[in-house]
Amino acid sequence: MRVTQSMLSANSLRHIQNSYKNLGKLEEQLTTGKKVSRPSDDPVVAMKGMRYRSQVVEVEQFNRNLSEVYNWMDNGDAALDEVNSVMQRIRELTSQASNDSYETSQRQAIASEVKQLRDHLESIANTKVNNKYIFNGSDTSGKPVDLSKVDQEIDIATINEGNAKDYTLFAEDGTQLLWNDTSGAFIDSKGSKVEVPVTGEYVAKEVGAVSVNQRDVDIEVTKGVNLNVNITPQNVFSLDFFSDIGKLVTALESPETKGEDLSNFLGVLDGHVDNIISERAELGARYNRVEMVESRLSSQEIIAKSTMSENEDIDAEKTIIELTSQETLHRASLAVGSRIIQPSLIDFLR
Protein backbone atom coordinates (compact mmCIF):
# COMPACT_ATOMS: atom_id res chain seq x y z
CA MET A 1 0.00 0.00 0.00
CA ARG A 2 1.38 3.36 -1.02
CA VAL A 3 1.33 5.94 1.78
CA THR A 4 1.13 9.48 0.44
CA GLN A 5 1.89 12.80 1.99
CA SER A 6 -1.85 13.69 2.03
CA MET A 7 -2.66 10.51 3.96
CA LEU A 8 -0.06 11.36 6.58
CA SER A 9 -1.38 14.90 6.85
CA ALA A 10 -5.01 13.74 7.14
CA ASN A 11 -4.18 11.18 9.83
CA SER A 12 -2.15 13.73 11.73
CA LEU A 13 -4.97 16.29 11.62
CA ARG A 14 -7.52 13.65 12.74
CA HIS A 15 -5.43 12.65 15.72
CA ILE A 16 -4.86 16.29 16.67
CA GLN A 17 -8.61 16.89 16.45
CA ASN A 18 -9.28 13.91 18.74
CA SER A 19 -6.71 15.28 21.14
CA TYR A 20 -8.51 18.63 21.17
CA LYS A 21 -11.78 16.79 21.83
CA ASN A 22 -10.29 14.95 24.81
CA LEU A 23 -8.86 18.16 26.18
CA GLY A 24 -12.21 19.88 25.80
CA LYS A 25 -14.02 17.05 27.63
CA LEU A 26 -11.55 17.10 30.54
CA GLU A 27 -11.72 20.88 30.73
CA GLU A 28 -15.53 20.77 30.79
CA GLN A 29 -15.46 18.19 33.59
CA LEU A 30 -13.16 20.35 35.69
CA THR A 31 -15.29 23.42 35.04
CA THR A 32 -18.64 21.79 35.88
CA GLY A 33 -17.38 19.25 38.41
CA LYS A 34 -19.58 16.62 36.73
CA LYS A 35 -18.72 13.50 34.77
CA VAL A 36 -21.39 14.16 32.17
CA SER A 37 -22.94 17.36 30.87
CA ARG A 38 -25.36 15.74 28.45
CA PRO A 39 -26.93 12.27 28.25
CA SER A 40 -24.85 11.37 25.20
CA ASP A 41 -21.66 11.63 27.27
CA ASP A 42 -22.65 8.53 29.27
CA PRO A 43 -26.31 7.38 29.01
CA VAL A 44 -26.01 5.00 31.99
CA VAL A 45 -24.63 7.67 34.33
CA ALA A 46 -27.25 10.15 33.10
CA MET A 47 -30.10 7.69 33.67
CA LYS A 48 -28.93 6.83 37.19
CA GLY A 49 -28.40 10.52 37.90
CA MET A 50 -32.03 11.31 37.12
CA ARG A 51 -33.21 8.67 39.60
CA TYR A 52 -30.78 9.81 42.30
CA ARG A 53 -31.75 13.46 41.83
CA SER A 54 -35.46 12.58 42.13
CA GLN A 55 -34.69 10.79 45.39
CA VAL A 56 -32.80 13.80 46.76
CA VAL A 57 -35.58 16.22 45.75
CA GLU A 58 -38.15 13.94 47.37
CA VAL A 59 -36.26 13.83 50.66
CA GLU A 60 -35.79 17.60 50.62
CA GLN A 61 -39.54 18.07 50.11
CA PHE A 62 -40.30 15.77 53.04
CA ASN A 63 -37.94 17.85 55.18
CA ARG A 64 -39.90 20.97 54.20
CA ASN A 65 -43.09 19.12 55.13
CA LEU A 66 -41.57 18.37 58.53
CA SER A 67 -41.09 22.08 59.11
CA GLU A 68 -44.82 22.54 58.59
CA VAL A 69 -45.53 19.62 60.93
CA TYR A 70 -43.38 21.14 63.66
CA ASN A 71 -45.07 24.49 63.14
CA TRP A 72 -48.52 23.00 63.71
CA MET A 73 -47.49 20.82 66.65
CA ASP A 74 -45.39 23.45 68.43
CA ASN A 75 -48.17 26.01 68.22
CA GLY A 76 -50.75 23.42 69.26
CA ASP A 77 -48.72 22.33 72.28
CA ALA A 78 -48.05 25.95 73.33
CA ALA A 79 -51.76 26.73 73.07
CA LEU A 80 -52.74 23.69 75.16
CA ASP A 81 -50.14 24.64 77.77
CA GLU A 82 -51.68 28.11 77.99
CA VAL A 83 -55.21 26.63 78.19
CA ASN A 84 -54.10 24.44 81.07
CA SER A 85 -52.64 27.46 82.90
CA VAL A 86 -55.88 29.40 82.42
CA MET A 87 -57.96 26.47 83.68
CA GLN A 88 -55.76 26.16 86.76
CA ARG A 89 -56.34 29.85 87.45
CA ILE A 90 -60.12 29.44 87.04
CA ARG A 91 -60.04 26.46 89.40
CA GLU A 92 -58.05 28.46 91.93
CA LEU A 93 -60.57 31.31 91.78
CA THR A 94 -63.49 28.88 92.07
CA SER A 95 -61.92 27.25 95.11
CA GLN A 96 -61.52 30.68 96.75
CA ALA A 97 -65.07 31.71 95.95
CA SER A 98 -66.50 28.46 97.37
CA ASN A 99 -65.65 29.80 100.83
CA ASP A 100 -68.95 30.99 102.33
CA SER A 101 -67.13 33.87 104.00
CA TYR A 102 -66.84 35.58 100.59
CA GLU A 103 -69.38 38.32 100.07
CA THR A 104 -71.45 38.76 96.91
CA SER A 105 -69.30 41.68 95.74
CA GLN A 106 -66.15 39.60 96.12
CA ARG A 107 -67.63 36.73 94.13
CA GLN A 108 -68.75 39.15 91.46
CA ALA A 109 -65.19 40.44 91.21
CA ILE A 110 -64.01 36.85 90.77
CA ALA A 111 -66.75 36.38 88.15
CA SER A 112 -65.35 39.33 86.20
CA GLU A 113 -61.90 37.73 86.12
CA VAL A 114 -63.31 34.32 85.13
CA LYS A 115 -65.26 36.01 82.35
CA GLN A 116 -62.04 37.58 81.04
CA LEU A 117 -60.27 34.22 81.26
CA ARG A 118 -63.13 32.63 79.29
CA ASP A 119 -62.71 35.28 76.59
CA HIS A 120 -59.01 34.50 76.54
CA LEU A 121 -59.80 30.78 76.07
CA GLU A 122 -61.90 31.76 73.05
CA SER A 123 -58.93 33.61 71.54
CA ILE A 124 -56.72 30.54 72.11
CA ALA A 125 -59.32 28.29 70.48
CA ASN A 126 -59.25 30.64 67.48
CA THR A 127 -55.46 30.51 67.16
CA LYS A 128 -54.24 30.99 63.59
CA VAL A 129 -50.91 29.86 62.14
CA ASN A 130 -50.01 30.98 58.64
CA ASN A 131 -53.56 32.38 58.44
CA LYS A 132 -55.04 28.93 59.22
CA TYR A 133 -57.15 28.01 62.24
CA ILE A 134 -55.37 25.08 63.89
CA PHE A 135 -58.25 24.03 66.17
CA ASN A 136 -60.96 23.57 63.56
CA GLY A 137 -60.09 20.20 62.07
CA SER A 138 -59.71 20.27 58.29
CA ASP A 139 -61.72 23.51 58.01
CA THR A 140 -58.72 25.77 58.48
CA SER A 141 -60.49 28.83 57.08
CA GLY A 142 -63.47 28.77 59.46
CA LYS A 143 -63.52 30.29 62.95
CA PRO A 144 -63.99 27.40 65.41
CA VAL A 145 -65.51 29.24 68.39
CA ASP A 146 -67.85 32.22 68.72
CA LEU A 147 -68.80 32.89 72.35
CA SER A 148 -71.67 35.17 71.37
CA LYS A 149 -73.32 32.15 69.74
CA VAL A 150 -72.29 29.78 72.52
CA ASP A 151 -74.19 31.91 75.04
CA GLN A 152 -77.23 32.10 72.79
CA GLU A 153 -79.70 29.23 73.07
CA ILE A 154 -82.47 28.75 70.51
CA ASP A 155 -85.78 27.05 71.18
CA ILE A 156 -85.82 23.84 69.16
CA ALA A 157 -89.52 24.37 68.50
CA THR A 158 -88.63 27.31 66.25
CA ILE A 159 -86.41 25.17 64.02
CA ASN A 160 -87.98 23.94 60.82
CA GLU A 161 -86.77 22.46 57.55
CA GLY A 162 -86.28 25.93 56.11
CA ASN A 163 -83.82 27.18 58.72
CA ALA A 164 -82.54 23.89 60.19
CA LYS A 165 -79.25 24.12 58.27
CA ASP A 166 -78.37 27.23 60.29
CA TYR A 167 -78.26 25.31 63.58
CA THR A 168 -76.35 22.55 65.30
CA LEU A 169 -77.99 20.46 68.02
CA PHE A 170 -75.99 19.46 71.07
CA ALA A 171 -76.84 16.80 73.66
CA GLU A 172 -75.46 16.65 77.19
CA ASP A 173 -73.50 13.49 76.34
CA GLY A 174 -71.62 15.37 73.60
CA THR A 175 -73.69 14.10 70.68
CA GLN A 176 -73.90 16.66 67.88
CA LEU A 177 -76.48 16.67 65.12
CA LEU A 178 -76.23 18.49 61.79
CA TRP A 179 -78.97 19.09 59.26
CA ASN A 180 -78.74 17.06 56.05
CA ASP A 181 -80.66 18.36 53.04
CA THR A 182 -80.62 14.99 51.29
CA SER A 183 -82.37 13.09 54.07
CA GLY A 184 -84.37 16.12 55.19
CA ALA A 185 -83.47 15.51 58.81
CA PHE A 186 -80.75 15.93 61.42
CA ILE A 187 -78.03 13.26 61.29
CA ASP A 188 -75.34 12.17 63.75
CA SER A 189 -71.60 11.74 63.12
CA LYS A 190 -72.23 8.31 61.55
CA GLY A 191 -74.70 9.72 59.06
CA SER A 192 -77.71 8.14 60.78
CA LYS A 193 -81.02 9.99 60.78
CA VAL A 194 -82.10 11.16 64.24
CA GLU A 195 -85.58 12.15 65.30
CA VAL A 196 -85.20 15.27 67.44
CA PRO A 197 -87.68 15.95 70.25
CA VAL A 198 -89.08 19.43 70.49
CA THR A 199 -87.78 19.99 74.01
CA GLY A 200 -85.50 18.48 76.59
CA GLU A 201 -82.66 16.38 75.32
CA TYR A 202 -80.93 18.73 72.87
CA VAL A 203 -79.81 22.36 72.90
CA ALA A 204 -79.84 24.29 69.64
CA LYS A 205 -76.99 26.60 68.73
CA GLU A 206 -76.31 28.64 65.63
CA VAL A 207 -73.85 27.06 63.23
CA GLY A 208 -70.41 28.40 64.17
CA ALA A 209 -70.96 28.55 67.92
CA VAL A 210 -68.50 25.67 68.33
CA SER A 211 -67.07 23.88 65.33
CA VAL A 212 -68.02 20.24 64.84
CA ASN A 213 -65.26 19.54 62.32
CA GLN A 214 -63.08 16.75 63.70
CA ARG A 215 -61.29 15.67 60.52
CA ASP A 216 -57.53 15.24 60.85
CA VAL A 217 -55.03 17.50 59.13
CA ASP A 218 -52.53 15.04 57.64
CA ILE A 219 -49.14 15.93 56.20
CA GLU A 220 -46.99 13.43 54.30
CA VAL A 221 -43.62 13.04 56.03
CA THR A 222 -42.27 10.03 54.15
CA LYS A 223 -43.49 8.19 51.09
CA GLY A 224 -46.92 6.79 51.90
CA VAL A 225 -46.78 7.93 55.54
CA ASN A 226 -49.07 10.75 56.69
CA LEU A 227 -49.05 12.19 60.19
CA ASN A 228 -51.92 13.94 61.93
CA VAL A 229 -50.60 17.34 63.02
CA ASN A 230 -53.63 18.79 64.82
CA ILE A 231 -55.50 17.86 67.96
CA THR A 232 -59.15 16.78 68.08
CA PRO A 233 -60.70 20.17 68.95
CA GLN A 234 -63.88 18.69 70.42
CA ASN A 235 -61.80 16.98 73.11
CA VAL A 236 -60.76 20.40 74.43
CA PHE A 237 -62.80 23.28 72.99
CA SER A 238 -66.24 21.69 73.17
CA LEU A 239 -69.56 23.38 73.73
CA ASP A 240 -69.63 21.94 77.25
CA PHE A 241 -66.20 23.44 77.91
CA PHE A 242 -67.33 27.02 77.29
CA SER A 243 -70.87 26.47 78.59
CA ASP A 244 -69.64 25.12 81.92
CA ILE A 245 -67.38 28.13 82.45
CA GLY A 246 -70.31 30.36 81.49
CA LYS A 247 -72.47 28.63 84.07
CA LEU A 248 -69.71 29.19 86.62
CA VAL A 249 -69.71 32.91 85.86
CA THR A 250 -73.49 33.02 86.28
CA ALA A 251 -73.22 31.19 89.60
CA LEU A 252 -70.54 33.58 90.84
CA GLU A 253 -72.65 36.60 89.92
CA SER A 254 -75.77 35.28 91.66
CA PRO A 255 -76.24 36.32 95.30
CA GLU A 256 -78.19 33.09 95.88
CA THR A 257 -75.18 30.85 95.17
CA LYS A 258 -73.72 28.99 98.12
CA GLY A 259 -70.18 27.75 98.61
CA GLU A 260 -71.30 24.18 98.14
CA ASP A 261 -72.73 25.05 94.74
CA LEU A 262 -69.38 26.46 93.64
CA SER A 263 -67.51 23.48 95.03
CA ASN A 264 -69.46 21.27 92.65
CA PHE A 265 -67.86 23.14 89.76
CA LEU A 266 -64.40 21.96 90.81
CA GLY A 267 -65.07 18.42 89.62
CA VAL A 268 -66.42 19.76 86.32
CA LEU A 269 -63.29 21.89 85.81
CA ASP A 270 -61.05 18.95 86.71
CA GLY A 271 -62.78 16.87 84.03
CA HIS A 272 -61.97 19.49 81.39
CA VAL A 273 -58.38 19.74 82.63
CA ASP A 274 -58.03 15.96 82.32
CA ASN A 275 -59.22 16.21 78.71
CA ILE A 276 -56.62 18.90 78.00
CA ILE A 277 -53.82 16.85 79.56
CA SER A 278 -54.87 13.71 77.66
CA GLU A 279 -54.95 15.55 74.34
CA ARG A 280 -51.58 17.15 75.02
CA ALA A 281 -50.08 13.76 75.92
CA GLU A 282 -51.40 12.30 72.66
CA LEU A 283 -49.91 15.22 70.75
CA GLY A 284 -46.59 14.65 72.54
CA ALA A 285 -46.54 11.01 71.46
CA ARG A 286 -46.98 12.05 67.85
CA TYR A 287 -44.28 14.70 68.31
CA ASN A 288 -41.84 11.97 69.37
CA ARG A 289 -42.62 10.05 66.21
CA VAL A 290 -41.99 13.17 64.12
CA GLU A 291 -38.55 13.49 65.67
CA MET A 292 -37.77 9.87 64.75
CA VAL A 293 -38.97 10.50 61.20
CA GLU A 294 -36.75 13.58 61.03
CA SER A 295 -33.72 11.54 62.12
CA ARG A 296 -34.49 8.92 59.49
CA LEU A 297 -34.91 11.55 56.77
CA SER A 298 -31.58 13.14 57.71
CA SER A 299 -29.85 9.79 57.19
CA GLN A 300 -31.68 9.22 53.91
CA GLU A 301 -30.68 12.67 52.67
CA ILE A 302 -27.00 12.05 53.43
CA ILE A 303 -27.07 8.67 51.70
CA ALA A 304 -28.99 9.99 48.68
CA LYS A 305 -26.65 12.94 48.17
CA SER A 306 -23.58 10.74 48.66
CA THR A 307 -24.84 8.25 46.08
CA MET A 308 -25.68 11.02 43.62
CA SER A 309 -22.23 12.55 44.10
CA GLU A 310 -20.48 9.25 43.47
CA ASN A 311 -22.47 8.82 40.29
CA GLU A 312 -22.12 12.34 38.88
CA ASP A 313 -19.19 14.17 40.46
CA ILE A 314 -15.64 13.84 39.15
CA ASP A 315 -12.57 12.93 41.13
CA ALA A 316 -10.86 16.32 40.85
CA GLU A 317 -7.32 15.05 41.51
CA LYS A 318 -7.67 12.25 38.97
CA THR A 319 -9.15 14.57 36.35
CA ILE A 320 -6.34 17.14 36.80
CA ILE A 321 -3.72 14.41 36.30
CA GLU A 322 -5.53 13.20 33.18
CA LEU A 323 -5.73 16.77 31.85
CA THR A 324 -2.02 17.30 32.44
CA SER A 325 -1.19 14.03 30.68
CA GLN A 326 -3.47 14.91 27.79
CA GLU A 327 -1.83 18.32 27.44
CA THR A 328 1.57 16.65 27.22
CA LEU A 329 0.33 14.20 24.61
CA HIS A 330 -1.32 17.01 22.67
CA ARG A 331 1.87 19.05 22.56
CA ALA A 332 3.80 15.99 21.36
CA SER A 333 1.14 15.37 18.72
CA LEU A 334 1.42 18.95 17.50
CA ALA A 335 5.21 18.68 17.37
CA VAL A 336 5.08 15.47 15.33
CA GLY A 337 2.37 16.86 13.10
CA SER A 338 4.39 19.96 12.37
CA ARG A 339 7.27 17.79 11.11
CA ILE A 340 5.02 15.66 8.91
CA ILE A 341 2.98 18.49 7.37
CA GLN A 342 5.88 20.89 7.01
CA PRO A 343 7.70 19.48 3.87
CA SER A 344 6.58 20.91 0.55
CA LEU A 345 7.53 20.09 -3.11
CA ILE A 346 10.34 22.63 -2.97
CA ASP A 347 11.79 20.79 0.01
CA PHE A 348 11.88 17.56 -2.06
CA LEU A 349 13.54 19.33 -5.01
CA ARG A 350 16.46 20.57 -2.98
Tell me the pLDDT tens digit for each residue of 281-315.
999 999 999 899 888 888 888 888 777 767 666 66
For residue 243, is pLDDT > 70?
Answer: yes
Spatial CA neighbour of 76 closest among 317, 237, 242, 306:
237
Higher pLDDT, 312 or 166: 166
Average pLDDT in the chain: 80
Question: Beta 185-187 vs 193-194: how paired, if at all?
Answer: antiparallel
Tell me the pLDDT tens digit for each residue of 201-210.
677 777 777 8
Give the pLDDT confidence score for residue 80 in this predicted structure: 94
Spatial CA neighbour of 125 closest among 113, 143, 140, 141:
143
For residue 8, is pLDDT > 70?
Answer: no
**Type of residue found at 101:** S
Tell me the pLDDT tens digit for each residue of 331-342.
766 666 666 666
- CA–CA dist 258, 243 (Å, integer): 20
- CA–CA dist 110, 121 (Å, integer): 16
- CA–CA dist 301, 303 (Å, integer): 5
E strand segments, 165-286: 167-171, 176-180, 185-187, 193-194, 202-206, 218-222, 225-228
pTM higher than 0.75: no
Give the pLDDT confidence score for residue 200 in this predicted structure: 59
Among the residue ranges 102-116, 200-214, 223-237, 262-276, the one predicted with the least confidence is 200-214
Tell me the pLDDT tens digit for each residue of 12-65.
667 667 776 766 676 666 766 666 666 656 676 667 767 777 888 888 888 888
Sequence-separated (6 or more) residues with CB below 8 Å from residue 2: none
Give the pLDDT confidence score for residue 173 in this predicted structure: 64
For residue 74, is pLDDT > 90?
Answer: yes
Model confidence at 9, in pLDDT bands (50, 70, 90)?
low
Query: End-to-end CA distance of the chain, in Å?
Result: 27
For residue 198, is pLDDT > 60?
Answer: no
